[in-house]
Chain A
């Protein structure tokens, strides 16, 4: 992650890359030899010696709060990678510190910079699909596909796991599009291949008496070429499906809110929704979020993905973790005055299903 930030920052016309800091002296030696960048192995030494305006933090999550805190104390603007902090308490503390000092702060929730999601937000803000009643947030992709892995992503104590990774992206988008949920319930943290962390997460959200949502994320799904996040929203006047590539809008009627949209299905895709960036490495959104940070520093305006919104995302993630340990309602035949069907019966019904699908 840090290397692609370096590539984009270095190419930005308004930013001067002063130095980089990493624990791998090997990588630092190669970078310094071939790109001439000044390098450090201790961020405190770097902060002490260099005259900096801002810091980009792309370390494993457990170092975020310490490094971000040190930078804020020195009055630097900070861009930090997601999921920001290991716990919401620390995340809110850092948000308050940055706000109290008037420093520009941003967390790398890059989906907030995808044209399609921003188009969906624009349409939702106009209440184009009426009163929302359901939101579904899904994220699938191939990260952990084997019972193996030795990096920090596989360690729960270091902020690894699908909840801190894929789920946080999906939660952050829900918070961005609809607002932060008031409650979570029925949460599941399940392991597929990992031994120390969760690989799939499911949860039910409530936003208001009439608006509910569901979260489904799984980073062990290799049927996806890369991470894919999709949000589906249902309202009294239709529905919106949105992913990185396109916004699909179904309207029961277009009450003249948005010219160009028809009653029924409408599709707007990435080509028309994506704004050009000054430099492209691996997707406009990654460039756009760095440019946004640079522009916010220049104009001293708040970012579209602040420490505070990231803290709210961390809070929802923490509540899902807490909820996952809670008691569930058993499916108990005795509670309706009957006994469990016999094993033989269940086996034959399963066989029946198999034989239906077997006929091709």
Chain B
């Protein structure tokens, strides 16, 4: 895993601090070319991994990097699935079963359709989950996806339910089918780590909010510190600026107390901001201590 990963919230008009800023970003990134332009800037600054929601808009970005593979030979995508709003909206309109049915492949060979129908009829969650994962991964075909994340809404919903088997199904399928590392985004890292450990998922990649003010660090900042210092896991810090509440230097200096922290993900819209944050991370926390 790279030390610095590039995030995508800014491209979707997601801003936890202000609706106005969110809307301005949505307008700015209306055209997928604007998104690609920022990714090119990030690449020029040396950021070669894009942690990217499986939103259908991202297929344009995938097309670009596929078509220009010679210019970006070392570019990685870390897909984050599912794009939860898609499922939530479908479930509100079609019910839970209708929603699942609507996302099963319909233009695939007959085999997939029958397999989907059978999985549905047999309540074969494993079969269904694999097909939904495959549907989400389709747009990344031909691109490097060495790590695949389960989005926090899905992770935390399943974690709360105690639907632990789902994590094993996800992890196994990502390893077997995509030869990639399964990874998990969560707002409840200490609890998730305990569950993954119980399931025997070793040295998992866990991406969570890690910031000086403890914003969205459920379980408390001390439990996170314990995980960062002594956990048998690879931690990725997100929301390091706590949605703009912290100054970049202060935020990154605080992170340096956790030498085992593996990676940092951040999003930015301008080359200047990308360059500033990257150089702060490079100078203050050049690499993780092997854990």
Contacts and interface: CB of A to CB of B under 8 A. Distances in A.
A34 B128 CA distance: 14
Given A35-B162, A225-B85, A277-B218, A3 B123 contact: no
A27 interface: yes
5 contacts: A4-B157, A10-B161, A11-B160, A143-B92, A150-B93
A276 B161 contact: no
B221 to A, nearest CB: 9
Interface in B169-216: 187-188, 191, 213-216
A280 interface: yes
A81 to B, nearest CB: 13
Contacts of A284: 216
B125 A30 contact: yes
A4 B13 CA distance: 24
A271 B92 contact: no
A10 B188 CA distance: 14
Interface residues of A, number: 46
B188 A151 contact: no
A32 to B, nearest CB: 10
B265 to A, nearest CB: 18
Contacts of A279: 156, 160, 188, 191, 218
B162 A280 contact: no
Given A246-B18, A279-B156, 5 more contacts: A11-B191, A30-B123, A230-B19, A245-B22, A280-B216
B125 A151 contact: no
Contacts of A271: 16-17, 213, 215, 242-245
Interface of B: 12-19, 22, 26, 85, 89, 92-97, 123, 125, 153, 156-163, 165-166, 187-188, 191, 213-220, 242-245
A7 B160 contact: yes
A272 to B, nearest CB: 7
A149 B17 contact: no
B97 A24 contact: yes
Contacts of B244: 269, 271
B22 to A, nearest CB: 8
A6 B216 contact: no
B17 A245 contact: yes
A226 interface: yes
Given A151-B95, A277-B218, A279-B188, A225 B160 contact: no
Nearest to A33: B123
B243 A280 contact: no
B161 A245 contact: no
A168 interface: no
A246 B18 CA distance: 6
A280 B163 contact: no
A29 B218 CA distance: 30
B98 to A, nearest CB: 8
A245 B160 CA distance: 25
Given A226-B85, A245-B19, A269-B243, A34 B125 contact: yes
Interface string A2-21: 01101110110000000000
A204 interface: no
Interface in A233-256: 243-246
Contact of B16 (A10, A34, A245): A245
Given A245-B17, A270-B243, A276 B92 contact: no
